[in-house]
Structure 1
Amino acid sequence: MSIVRRIARPLLATGYIVNGIDSFRNSSTAAAHLDPALKTVRHAVPQAAPFLKNSAVVAQGLAAAQVGAAALFALGKAPRLAASVLISTTAVNAYLDFRASDHGTKEQKAARRNSALKNVSLVGATMIASVDTDGSPSLMWRAEHFVSDVQKQAEDLGKDASKRWEKAQKVASKKAKEAQKAVSS
């Protein structure tokens, strides 16, 4: 892991951890912001309604997911998966913060805009982190090369089997001629 990654990942994760802990501690406030969105989801997807009844538990689950993913990301453990979870939780939080913030006065509008821009910037940074392979090939690259290697091995095996078949035919033909000579003599 490069020195930039060793420094940048924990720095990026710090904000997520603090925000997640605050959301977990103040789950009633987060649940109040989350409740209108959950009502919409419950109406759109009735099968999810039993899981989304208690908005405080959903808010705590989102906060716990954010803290866990941020901790994994900071430690460099499954960083692409952790970054993907952080993108999801941050997008939800950004949407809820934007809807819940006051926007009556000029100062409130400026604060709302700044908060939205900060959240969008965090999502963008985390999106970049989610595709960072840390010098290792991506799963797609590995899969493509695995398929290519298997195809080459299959071709080689086919060529080898063809050569062996031709050799076996030649040997059988030679033995048949020898046997025919022996019978005629």
Structure 2
Amino acid sequence: MKRIDLQATQVDWDDDQRLVVDGELFTGEAVTYNWLDEVTSLATYVEGFREGVQRDWYDGGQLKSEMTVRNGRMTGGSRWWDRNGNLVREERHDRTALVKLAPEWGTGPLWVDGEYRDLDDFGLSDELVALIEQWNEEFQAVYDADDPPASSFPDEETERRWLDRGRELAGRIGPEVVFSVWGGRETTQGRNVSTPTLPANGDA
């Protein structure tokens, strides 16, 4: 497996905070060393995202911290030790939430565990937000206020293409989403978000 020294290698980070080396998304191990040439941190990357167990050490080799990352997000447990090897802190990162793309008349299309959430709550890219808004506007445009039950797309082919685009958008939400179920934006990557789904009938 390819290994780089983060203190001696020219690296960059793209807009999605993926590690870039020599113009390409990095896959391999990234390490740092102390003045004794001991490894003080080790993290594995896959296509620019941290992936797997990553560790930090004190000078002398005592383990300092350990955590597991999946697709750039912490998952499972994270632990920290003092210089004497005593466990001093432990956190869990196994809270999950269902993010669903499901349009309803008169409101936005994104929901968390059955509750409507504004698009701005998710930290999505401007491009994806614009595509979701356009997709939702097409749904809202077919609403018939005089006869709501009769609201429908002009034909089955148009509806099928709209649903197909919705499923594609739903698949793009998971890797981008940055949010807290309780409403506060998180500043770390300690999130675990389920794959969004799109009901065929358009209901939440």
Give 1 or 2: higher helix fraction.
Answer: 1
Higher relative contact order structure (alpha carbons within 8 Å, sequence separation ≥ 6): 1
Larger strand proportion of the pair = 2
Normalising by structure 2, we get a TM-score of 0.23
Q: TM-score, normalised by structure 1?
A: 0.25
Of structures 1 and 2, the larger Rg is shown by 1
